[in-house]
Amino acid sequence: MAKDRVTVIDIARAAGVSKSTVSLVLQASPLVNETTRAKVNAVIRDLGYVYNRGAANLRQSNSKSKIIGIVVNDLTNSFFAELAVGVDMVVQSAGYVQFLANTAESVDRQREVISSMREHGISGLILSPARGTDANDLKPLVASGIPVVNVVRQVAGAKVSSLISDNHAGMRDAVRHLAGLGHHCIAFLGGFPDTAVFNERLQGYRDALSDMDLALHDELVVSSAPSRAGGVAAIERALLLRERPTAAVCFNDAVAFGVCDGLRAHRLDPGEDFAVIGFDDVIEAQTAVPALTTISVDPQGMGRRAAQLLLKQINAGRADAEAIVSSVRLVVRQSCGAAIDKRERLSLL
Amino acid sequence: MAKDRVTVIDIARAAGVSKSTVSLVLQASPLVNETTRAKVNAVIRDLGYVYNRGAANLRQSNSKSKIIGIVVNDLTNSFFAELAVGVDMVVQSAGYVQFLANTAESVDRQREVISSMREHGISGLILSPARGTDANDLKPLVASGIPVVNVVRQVAGAKVSSLISDNHAGMRDAVRHLAGLGHHCIAFLGGFPDTAVFNERLQGYRDALSDMDLALHDELVVSSAPSRAGGVAAIERALLLRERPTAAVCFNDAVAFGVCDGLRAHRLDPGEDFAVIGFDDVIEAQTAVPALTTISVDPQGMGRRAAQLLLKQINAGRADAEAIVSSVRLVVRQSCGAAIDKRERLSLL
DNA sequence: TGACAAATTTGGAACGTTCCAATTATTTTG
DNA sequence: CAAAATAATTGGAACGTTCCAAATTTGTCA
């Protein structure tokens, strides 16, 4: 097995030029003569040279490493998997490679992986912070001038850019749609109450209810883990309420799928007997049966935009924090059913 | 913003020792006196020093970089997302960090990301090869002595370790179970016929049928994309057959979910009117309604084992290729229904 | 052809670490 | 207490690249 690395010096020797020249052709500099460039490139191929970015990086400590980090709080959630794919797309085509780490909502883990990434010299970081992340956790990073873009969740007080979706407006639109279909008793299911995202969505729910002059009962808000299993649990509890809801907006699509599962377990037909709206529009939402009405967030697009924002900051050398809230739209499919009162619906059309 | 890096020399100066000593404490060497160690560590904290792995790595080119690469063919498939999580778990706790890239089944993309990873000096690679990957694509990598572990799919002729699941036995067990429940007409749904995995599973299906003395009709094998949407399409076609199947084994869980969706669209109740078995046991399989009977592959565990195997090879310096086929087990849940003939089922118990 | 400009090429000196051999400080021992 | 042994520290010289200033080659023009 080829043991010792081929270096720029080996190339130089074999091609009969100096290492400086080889370095120039590696950087595709216009300074070098075409014929020598060709010769050097040929040797590079022949010897199977592989560029050592570590060494290069050491010298030119300014422009950095061509590595970006992305750390998410739950990779098993397909929302984040798709987000990562979106990020990967744009960083890959910009010649970067991504460190991807999963924190599983552990701040400790998060601290570890971020510091490990720093040691490796990432040029930027895309972060979906674990629950309980403090602004101080990001302090050293931003102080060292490494651009950071927060996605999905914000960290109060951190001076970093963020890209989050319009949780308030999305949930408001969902509730309005259900109310427009004639539902009076609408539950809010799933999610952990100690997150900003939860509260933004909840506020959208509340505001829509009061806009539509519907009463707001606290027991209609049932929190749970933001997962399929959590959705099952939440609908179980909701179905036991005195005033039983006829519709629900869910914290996210995973919860919504769980809610559909739970309904079926009770011999209720989601979309017919009970209206369900999700949030995120993950890829399965359109192919599920019934197809899920949901708030489209386009996680992959979000990943792409986050990556673009980050690359912009990296290239700008030093970009100041900007907070982007990306708009969101209701995608009506089958799971929210038709209007309760058909005549009313006809009159609306 | 702190512009210039703090180096080992700055630490040395501030602590009144030599850079060599600082280096020793960084490596937790037993050679250094406890009091100096404490002093140096204090200074390290105070100055906010961050270790430069690139530089370190340059010097000790033998033991490598503490980076492992993982490239998968479809991160949006939760099977691979979970695999990645499993890998992440073990590499993270071994002090490594992972480059994660998604090839979306493109060999070109795959070649690019692998070579990019090489330039960054990965110490090992876990690869779920894109369709059409050739042994030659891996040649230079293995020639340079970097350990590679293939997962999920094998690459014919490549001298690398592999960890794949027992596709043949898994599918065989699934079919036997259905036959045992009294089904005579069992379809095989989903998957691309030009992959090794497909053919191994198909063979398991065929062998089981002939074991059970059931006829084998080619039209009962309906290929499709290995996705939820593909599953919908496959069951659509299967339901049109003259001899309509009463049960199906599916290429994977995603297909199986799609099949359930498609059945419901036809007012058929999966688990009651039609038996469905998946393959993989992704996390949603147990919470779905009906819970999915499936072949458990434990993607996360597979990721963990792949990572362990890789780390073993990395530490061993040079381990020879071993092919592990990991056993697999049938997990019976609701989607495959009860026995067709209840009396027969009672007699079996 | 000589002088000057432009185009190419080239030796070091970095970059931040580790390692080796060598030095100095501290103990132990006969 | 000197000598030997042990513990702790330390200056360079690497590692593979880029960058700078300087050197060399080539081309142009009068």
Strand C and A122 CB separated by under 7 Å: no
Residues A258 and A314 in one domain: no
Residues B175 and B243 in one domain: yes
* pLDDT greater than 60 at residue B346: no
The model's pLDDT over B140-196, given as tens digits with 9 standing for 90+, comes to 898 888 999 999 998 988 999 999 999 999 999 999 999 999 999 999 999 999 888
Please answer yes or no on whether A112 and B92 come within 8 Å at the CB atom: yes
Tokens of B340: 């067709």
Q: What is the pLDDT of residue A3?
A: 54
Residues B109 and B159 in one domain: yes
Q: How many independent structural domains does chain B possess? A: 3
Nearest residue to B169 via CA among B120, B208, B204? B204
Cβ-based contacts of B2 with chain A (< 8 Å): 143-145
Q: List A124's β-bridge partners, or say none.
A: A68
- Is the residue at A61 inside a domain? no
Cβ-based contacts of B145 with chain A (< 8 Å): 1-3
SS (H, E, C) chain A: CCCCCCCHHHHHHHHCCCHHHHHHHHCCCCCCCHHHHHHHHHHHHHHCCCCCHHHHHHHCCCCCCCEEEEEECCCCCHHHHHHHHHHHHHHHHCCCEEEEEECCCCHHHHHHHHHHHHHCCCCEEEECCCCCCCHHHHHHHHHCCCCEEEECCCCCCCCCEEEEECHHHHHHHHHHHHHHCCCCCEEEECECCCCHHHHHHHHHHHHHHHHCCCCCCHHHEECECCCHHHHHHHHHHHCCCCCCCCEEEECCHHHHHHHHHHHHHCCCCECCCEEEEEEECCHHHHCCCCCCEEEECCHHHHHHHHHHHHHHHHHCCCCCCCEEEECCEEECCCCCCCCCCHHHHHHHC
Give me the total of CB pairs closer than 8 Å, taking one residue from chain A and one from chain B.
165
Which residues span the domain enclosing A270? 167-298+331-348
- From the list A48, A67, A85, the residue facing B120 with the nearest CB is A67
The model's pLDDT over B245-299, given as tens digits with 9 standing for 90+, comes to 999 999 999 999 999 999 988 999 999 999 999 999 988 888 787 899 999 998 9
* pLDDT greater than 70 at residue B343: no
- From the list B57, B76, B264, the residue facing A289 with the nearest CB is B264
Residues A248 and A150 in one domain: no
- Is the residue at B75 inside a domain? yes
Residues A173 and A155 in one domain: no
Please answer yes or no on whether A120 and B97 come within 8 Å at the CB atom: yes
- Is the residue at B58 inside a domain? no
> How do the pLDDT tens digits run along chain A, 349 residues long?
445 789 999 999 999 999 999 999 999 999 999 999 999 999 999 999 999 999 999 998 665 789 999 999 999 888 999 999 999 999 999 999 999 999 999 999 999 999 999 999 999 999 999 999 999 999 989 888 899 999 999 898 899 999 999 999 999 999 999 999 999 999 999 999 988 899 999 999 999 999 999 989 999 999 999 999 999 999 999 999 999 999 999 999 999 999 999 998 899 999 999 999 999 998 888 878 789 999 999 899 999 999 999 999 998 876 678 999 999 999 999 999 876 544 344 434 3
Residues A143 and A235 in one domain: no
Residues B140 and B231 in one domain: no
Nearest residue to A246 via CA among A298, A184, A202? A184
Parallel/antiparallel/unpaired status of strands A161-165 and A323-326: parallel
Residues A209 and A232 in one domain: yes
Residues A215 and A341 in one domain: yes
Residues B144 and B45 in one domain: no
Residues B200 and B99 in one domain: no
Q: What is the pLDDT of residue B161?
A: 95
- Is the residue at B62 inside a domain? no
* pLDDT greater than 90 at residue B312: yes
Nearest residue to B293 via CA among B188, B199, B177, B167? B177
Which of B284, B298, B334 to probe by mutation at the A interface, max A CB count within 10 Å?
A: B284
Residues B234 and B337 in one domain: yes
- Distance, CA of A11 to C1' of C1, in Å: 39
Question: Quick one: pLDDT band at residue B347, thresholds 50, 70, 90?
Answer: very low
- Considering only alpha carbons, which residue of chain B is nearest residue A55? B58
CATH assignment at residue A46: 1.10.260.40
Question: Quick one: pLDDT band at residue B344, thresholds 50, 70, 90?
Answer: very low
